[in-house]
Amino acid sequence: MSHPRVTPAPRTGFELDSKSASERTSVQPQQVSKKRNVKAKPAVQAKSLLLIHREPFSNEDDDIEGSQHPAEPLSADDPLAPLPFNPYKGNRGLTRAWHAMKNSLNGFRVAIREESAFRQELTLAAILVPCGILVPVSPVERAALLASVLLVLMVELLNSSVEAAIDRISLERHELSKRAKDFGSAAVMVALLVCVLTWGLIVGPLLWQWALMLF
């Protein structure tokens, strides 16, 4: 049994106009929103770039004040001021070696004149160095004896230089100044102990043998 074919009724012009109007109204907000999003993107990107490139803790007022009040030049007494030109730093070759030797001899002369401890140790070295050369020991032991004596003189000169530098900065009593000088004195004491141990271990057995032969 066949059903009769039903044909749809034709749409009127009013229905077509209402549908097209509804489609336009439904599509238009999406297009407007898309346009708004497209226009808003550059502003958001620019704001993000400003946040990225902006330095933290920056203050424009400080920059303006710094530009209006330039920094004053440092005085010669300021510790941050650049050091004066040293004409001896540019010397090379034999000229530099000559000035270095002259300054070293001058430091040695000042140490003899001003430092009583260095004079005492130098007198002790004047006695021990000939003994170290004449004592019948191997070349390595002789070098150790002489090096221990020279070590005491070297450490004493370094201690004197530290004391002179501290006194140049300030003569007032300060805990850090005292500590630095005590460190230098302790270094001299260690050098003296090394000298005593070296001479005792090398020359001590020889002196014991000579004492047994005499008595």
Which of 203, 109, 99, 111 lies closest to 155 in space, CA to CA?
111
DSSP sequence for 113-159: HH-HHHHHHHHHHHHHHHHHHHS---HHHHHHHHHHHHHHHHHHHHH
Please tell me which residue in 156, 163, 172, 175 is annotated as part of the active site.
156
Is there a contact between 154 and 188 (Cβ–Cβ < 8 Å)? no
User: Which segments of the chain does DSSP mark as H helices, in order?
Assistant: 13-53, 60-68, 94-114, 116-134, 139-169, 175-214
- Cα–Cα distance measured from residue 202 to residue 183, given in angstroms and rounded to the nearest whole number: 29
Is-contact 145 135, C-beta < 8 A? yes
CA distance 141 to 147: 10
Q: 15 catalytic, yes or no?
A: no
Indicate which residues carry an active-site annotation: 156
